[in-house]
């Protein structure tokens, strides 16, 4: 499966996808054909280049309208031959039009157990709420922020002495396992959407 990865920053999730799927892993079900960043200074671009993956910047600041920015991204993604678009720390809201074009072929990773803690600062809010478990979610994207059919989740415990930083590190480590696992399931054709729920056809789930 040809995949485009969209990023805005450090790209540690991108790195975990590179480590799991290549370009140098033989027999990988996933080929990362493009890394696209809306920010020219995203460190993830450097990770892509090091791995020999085409990396491009589509700077949102160069566009007056969101729709034009999304159309420019869509054009680059289509040129790359990608069949699936992966949001890995991509910090721009996408237009409904773009999301419709990639219906059920657009996935996001969110650092909380959705539908809890949509939006930003999820670790601080989890600590504030006093939840005993926190985690991350991989889901298909729908127009409303941080909603859409859930593909997989990983939970981590919240410890009494956790800070935003220690909890965040635990969740990020879980993300680095969950994202490749989820994309593998999709690439193997084991994920389908029925209504607004994702069904996994795998005995392990």
Give the residue numbers annotated as catalytic, written as ranges. Answer: 110
Q: Is 108 annotated as a binding residue?
A: yes
Residue 203 three-state SS: coil
**String of contacts with ligand GRF for each residue 167-186, x by CB under 6 A:** -----x--x-----------
Give the neighbor-by-neighbor strand order of the sheet with 31-37.
55-57, 31-37, 2-7, 84-87, 106-110, 133-140, 150-157
Q: Which of 1, 11, 45, 51 binds ligand GRF (CB under 6 A)?
A: 11
Output 109 or 158, the one with its CB closest to ligand GRF. 109
Is 99 a binder of ligand GRF (CB under 6 A)? no
51: contact with ligand GRF by CB under 6 A? no
35 counts as binding ligand GRF under rule CB under 6 A:
no
Q: Which residue is nearest to ligand GRF (CB)?
A: 89
For the chain, strand residue ranges (E) read 2-7, 31-37, 55-57, 84-87, 106-110, 133-140, 150-157, 191-194, 197-200
20 binds ligand GRF (CB under 6 A): no
CA 19, CA 176: separation in Å to the nearest integer?
10
Q: Considering only residues 61-90, where is the footprint of ligand GRF by CB under 6 A?
A: 88-89
11 is annotated as contributing to ligand binding: yes
**What DSSP character marks residue 115?**
T
Tell me the closest approach of the beta carbon of residue 12 to ligand GRF, in angstroms.
Answer: 3
Question: Does 10 sit near ligand GRF (CB under 6 A)?
Answer: yes
Which of 63, 7, 14 lies closest to 38, judged by CA? 7
Cis omega (within 30 of 0) for bond into 39: no
């Amino acid at each position: 499966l040809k995949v485009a990865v969209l990023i805005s920053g450090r790209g540690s999730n991108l790195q975990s996808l590179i480590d799991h799927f290549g370009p140098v892993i033989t027999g990988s079900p996933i080929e990362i054909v493009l890394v696209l960043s809306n920010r020219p200074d995203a460190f993830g671009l450097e990770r892509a280049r090091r791995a020999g993956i085409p990396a491009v910047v589509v700077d949102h600041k160069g566009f007056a309208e969101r729709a034009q920015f999304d159309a420019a991204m869509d054009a680059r993604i289509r040129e790359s031959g990608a069949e699936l678009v992966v949001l890995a720390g991509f910090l721009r809201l996408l237009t409904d039009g773009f999301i419709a074009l990639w219906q059920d072929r657009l996935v996001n990773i969110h650092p909380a157990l959705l539908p809890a803690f949509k939006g930003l600062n999820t670790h601080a809010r989890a600590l504030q709420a006093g939840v005993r478990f926190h985690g991350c979610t991989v889901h298909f994207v729908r127009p409303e922020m941080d909603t859409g059919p859930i593909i997989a989740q990983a939970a981590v415990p919240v410890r009494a002495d956790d800070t935003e930083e220690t909890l965040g590190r635990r969740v990020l480590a879980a993300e680095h396992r969950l994202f490749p696992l989820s994309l593998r399931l999709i690439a193997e054709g084991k994920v389908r959407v029925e209504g607004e729920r994702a069904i996994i056809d795998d005995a392990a789930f």
